[in-house]
Amino acid sequence: MKIAIAGAAGRMGQMLIRRIAATEGCSLAGAIEAAGSNVLGRDASEVAGLEKGGVKITGDSAAAIGAANVVIDFTVPAATVAHAGIAAEKGVAMVIGTTGLDPQQTALIHAAAKKVPIMWAANMALGVNVLMALVEKTASMLDPGYDIEVLEMHHRHKIDAPSGTALALGRSAAAGRKVELEKVWRKSRDGHTGARPTGEIGFATLRGGEEVGVHTVYFASAGERLELTHRSFSREGYAMGAVMAAQWLKGKKPGLYGMKDVLGL
């Protein structure tokens, strides 16, 4: 499995390169960074803290993606959409971990998935995906009298809020209740908001330090509170899930897949 990494010099990109090196049957085929990056031309494996591997970081996305069977992208929405278009043109599968895409950008990912298989997930850590399944099941078992709140905390550098994982957990809860999240969510509260409506799914966001990611879903009633929590201590879990997804895509038909498909949840 020849894999290209978009955002190869970033923290997640470096972790992915190390994971590929440690995974039997996988090799790094391309490494992409933005034009003007000070790491262009450097050996990607060396930047990731490994011995030189012979793949240099490039700003030529088309060449890097074209050399691979699959490209893994944890970058920013505009870059991810551009890479999806290239992958679709070249017949290369794609794993996407980018969040914060707007409806127009999301539609372009869906269009690319008509030509190549794409696995897109807000969070690829195995534990988080088990948590999503648990949240959906719990929401289906408890009546709407239980208030649902999703609390998340990430490092100070994260650019979107609520996190894509928090929104995915909210969607899991909404699916359990058989409602559309957009019709019942409250993404933030400020000022005189009044009493909390029954059935609302709320979100709270914390940012600070170098926190990799903490997500807690609260089910609160008048007499008790159930909490389901996942905490990431490093990005290794995300990288492991992403490389697993890349391997899983081999031979798959064009379409948009999720980690539920990869894990058989």
pLDDT tens by residue, 130-152: 999 999 999 999 998 999 999 99
Verify that 171 and 151 share a domain, yes or no.
yes
Verify that 240 and 219 share a domain, yes or no.
no
Provide mean pLDDT across the span 77-82. 97
User: Out of 56, 83, 154, 230, which one is annotated catalytic?
Assistant: 154
- Number of domains composing the chain: 2
Verify that 172 and 72 share a domain, yes or no.
no
CATH of the domain at 144: 3.30.360.10
Verify that 169 and 103 share a domain, yes or no.
no
Would you call 154 a catalytic residue per the annotation?
yes
pLDDT, one tens digit per residue, over 177-232 is: 999 999 999 999 999 999 999 999 999 999 999 998 999 999 999 999 999 999 98
3-state secondary structure 107-141: HHHHHHCCCCEEEECCCCCHHHHHHHHHHHHHHHH
Verify that 167 and 214 share a domain, yes or no.
yes
Residue 155: domain span: 126-232
User: Out of 2, 158, 187, 252, which one is annotated catalytic?
Assistant: 158
Verify that 223 and 99 share a domain, yes or no.
no
